[in-house]
A and B are shown apart, each in its own frame.
Chain A
Amino acid sequence: MSTVGTSPADVRALRLAAIAVALIAGVAFVVPGPAGNALAVVAVAAAVGAPLARLARVGVGFARERDWRFAALAAAVLAVVGAGAALAAVVS
């Protein structure tokens, strides 16, 4: 049995991340003007970054369990995402 991504610490971190992103988005929702816009950008960055950070954490967990095949697959997904963002920057 593997505990990758499902340890009590992981569960707690995921719950806190969701609450933090919701709070930032909530404040951005009610604060007008440039401050609200800046918080909106932070909320978007956090919402986009959280699944990728979770994936990275899972990849590290696989490596710690010496499950190299799946650690490599997690790294490959992150590489694909990074390559896609870089490609989009070049194209646009």
Chain B
Amino acid sequence: MTARIGVVTFPGSLDDRDTQRAIRLAGAEPVALWHKDKDLHQVDAVVLPGGFSYGDYLRAGAISRFSPVMETVIEQAKAGLPVLGICNGFQVLTEAHLLPGGMLGNDHLHFICRDQKLRVENATTSWTSDYSEGQEIHIPLKNMDGRYVADQYTLDKLEAEGRVAFRYVDFNPNGSLNDIAGITNEAGNVVGLMPHPEHAVEPLIGSGRTDGLPFFTSILKKLVNA
């Protein structure tokens, strides 16, 4: 038995097919989910992929957050469904209040695309258990609005509870507070990050590393062993 992992396509999603590929390479079964369809088709986990859903108009993720599919995602995430938000998906998760804080435009005001060094700060979530705490990895990053911000209370709480999942190392590419690249909810089933693990799953393609694959093997092991 393998796990069925859904990937939502919003209008303007770009990395949906890439995420499906990464899920397949990890050994799970990718299931395409359509934003207008509330039915999650019995998937065991959901990924909200990167892209420019609704063109990032109004504010990144602000419109997608109201897509019909999100009603079910929000409801089930609160009940423990594993959900990963990558880049635009992370923005959708914060807009949906499944994760705290939000994203502003990069401090240098440019789109940035680079192979980014990260440190895994929390290796206990549904999506990070195949990493070890403190492990340094390289994951491609590409965004316009990647500057993570939150009020001081929230930041302190995230830090105190060990909910910063990933931190930028050597270079903060967008001005994110506390060098935060990704965070998790209290339960550890909902994780969001700006870098793109689905673009680091094959040695030949993109960054030429496979540092992103453990995201997908983590969830697969969790679901299969459950």
Q: Are A and B interaction partners?
A: no
